[in-house]
Amino acid sequence: MPFRCEPTAPKLDDDSTKEQRQEIPRYFDDLEQLFNACPLLTDLDKKKFTVFYLKAPLQAVWTSFPEFSDASKTYFNFRTAVFRLYPDADPANLYTFADLNRLVANRYHLGISTLEDLAEYTRHFRTISAALIRKGFATEISS
């Protein structure tokens, strides 16, 4: 496992904004890639490495979970507890209709005056609407 300061170390700097919380699944994906390369790690080792790479304030929050300190709880129990604390970090809950409405309203107020404005809006609209369609909360409208 890499040290904190190594470029290959997983990173999660903060959890204060939705964008930062959406990095939590990627953080766990990075960790699990490393765990797969180290098959001798126990669940306790995995939990310790999960918090090892975090900055101190976030580390304090995550180590406060009973699933972290309880040796009978698995790494996946701990991971599940973390995701319960950040429902908007769960890939299944990444976007809502409120996000889509906010995007449309913001762009309405800002307007589209350049090709870059249109491209930026289209990228965000496609990302959010595709997620809502995958979850079954919206349907595609054929032209």
Averaged pLDDT of the chain: 90
Query: pLDDT per residue over 93-116, tens digit each?
Result: 778 888 899 999 999 999 999 999
CB 93 within 8 A of CB 128: no
Looking at the structure, tell me whether residues 84 and 100 fall in a common domain: no
Quick one: pLDDT at residue 143? 39
User: Per the structure, how many domains does the chain have?
Assistant: 2
Query: pLDDT per residue over 17-75, tens digit each?
Result: 877 888 899 999 999 999 999 989 999 999 999 999 999 999 999 999 999 999 999 99
**How many CA within 13 A on the CB side of residue 22?**
8
Give the structural domain span for 47. 18-88
Looking at the structure, tell me whether residues 83 and 99 fall in a common domain: no
Looking at the structure, tell me whether residues 123 and 107 fall in a common domain: yes
Binned at pLDDT 50, 70 and 90, residue 15 comes out as: confident
Query: CA 33, 15, 71: angle at the middle one, nearest 5?
Result: 55
Quick one: pLDDT at residue 142? 47
Quick one: pLDDT at residue 136? 82
